[in-house]
Amino acid sequence: MRIEEICQCESLDKYLEFFISHTPIYLGSHGTTFGLLYKDGQKYFLKPYPPRRESKIEDQFKLMQDAYKAGMPIAQPITLVKFAKGGGILSSWIEGISLESKEAKKLLFVSPSYQYRLGYDCAAAIKKLHLMPVNCDIAASNKVSDSIYYRLDKYKKHTSCKQFHHCIDKFQRYIERNNEAFFNRQISYVHRDYRYQNLMLCNGEIMCVDTDIIEPGDPWADLVFLFVSVTSTKLSYLYNGLVHHYFGEDPPKTFWQVMTLYHVLWDMHLYYASAKADNLKDSKKILAKLMVSVDKLQTDTPPPWYISYNKAFDTVVQTSNQSFGFIFDMASCKLLWVLTLLKHFFRITKKIASPLLAIRRLLK
């Protein structure tokens, strides 16, 4: 029997019995995925879903299929398996490494041009999803800012800190005053969790995971959440590649203002999560940062890592795929690494030598 033909099963455990082996893996940021090996030698991913998602999962599966057909780099959705309670999405296997793995980080930090090209690929991947046509009825009944108001209501409802509620109120008033300027753009299908943890490197190319949560929303939110999920300034080339290719030019000033809004919203999420876990130490730190950031919402200045777009940057993407360009880039990085080591060596030597010279003078 072909595995695609098994669309119903009593339970997850019974379904796993069809396979030679099944290994739980933590792929992405939404629960456990199983790596499966079938008797014909083919490998698959199985992403279980809970009973509460049963009413929407068929629509989600259809969106995954549409995204795959549109060229978004994701695992091919094969079949939707239903259990007595819940079910699972069976997808093709992706051979690669997580972008947050040590192996991937070594690649990212070795070559600036390679890092820029990956940012370029991240933009190309998510644009495939954002350009998918949205049903007219869905577009009419959803606004770009809906998800923000939903989150604010949830955070306020499930927390009791007055200072946090004050930050939410101030944030909400600012959005309402500028709603037309910030959110006057077309709604699109969004990944909703386009983060570092949900990207993989497969033969040097970007692949997306956790695509079973696609929904209508603000396309800019996908870009910003990739920034806020990684705070390292060492990934500035990746960020620039992402922004440059997504817009094809310098983004409008409104983008930087919206980016600031989502950064604050992310901090609110972190506070909400820490407060829910009764982590008082982290809650106080996040709240202190939040109270400062809500007073700086009006900034439209690009962040320090941003480099103004130049058409010459497009050649970086082309040369980073060529061996000579990549080798040259690696050589220049290694030279910088050696010079940095020498700099630290002479600094340490100077610190050691200074007291020794002082002792020698005293002995004279």
**Do 81 and 197 sit in the same domain of this protein?**
no
**Do 149 and 267 sit in the same domain of this protein?**
yes
**Do 256 and 133 sit in the same domain of this protein?**
yes
pLDDT of residue 106: 81
**Do 116 and 204 sit in the same domain of this protein?**
yes
Domain assignment present for residue 227? The answer is yes
CATH of the domain at 13: 3.30.200.20
- Rounded CA-CA distance 152/171 in Å is 9
**Do 138 and 216 sit in the same domain of this protein?**
yes
* Structural domain count, the chain: 2
**Do 137 and 238 sit in the same domain of this protein?**
yes
Structure tokens at 175: 């959005």
**Do 171 and 259 sit in the same domain of this protein?**
yes
Please give the residue range of the domain that contains residue 72: 3-92
Where the chain has pLDDT below 70, the residues are 27-31, 229-233, 312, 315-364
Domain boundary pick from 92, 107, 131:
92
DSSP-assigned states of every residue in 103-166: HHHHHHHH-HHHHHHHHHHHHHHHHHHHTSPPPHHHHHH--TTHHHHHHHHHHHHT---HHHHH
CATH of the domain at 255: 3.90.1200.10
pLDDT of residue 102: 84
Domain assignment present for residue 338? The answer is no
User: Among candidates 103, 121, 337, 109, which has minimal Cα distance to 234?
Assistant: 109
User: CA separation (Å) from 129 to 12, 46, 188, 288, 324?
Assistant: 30, 22, 8, 37, 33
pLDDT of residue 167: 94
pLDDT of residue 6: 87
- Rounded CA-CA distance 151/94 in Å is 33
**Do 73 and 197 sit in the same domain of this protein?**
no
**Do 81 and 152 sit in the same domain of this protein?**
no
Sequence-ordered alpha helix ranges (H) in 146-276: 146-157, 162-177, 179-183, 219-228, 236-247, 253-276
User: Among candidates 128, 114, 112, which has minimal Cα distance to 246?
Assistant: 128
- Rounded CA-CA distance 93/302 in Å is 39
Q: Is the dihedral of CA 21, 81, 74, 1 positive or negative?
A: positive
Q: Residue 59 contacts by C-beta under 8 Å, 6 or more apart in sequence?
A: none
**Do 34 and 137 sit in the same domain of this protein?**
no
- Rounded CA-CA distance 269/314 in Å is 36
**Do 83 and 153 sit in the same domain of this protein?**
no
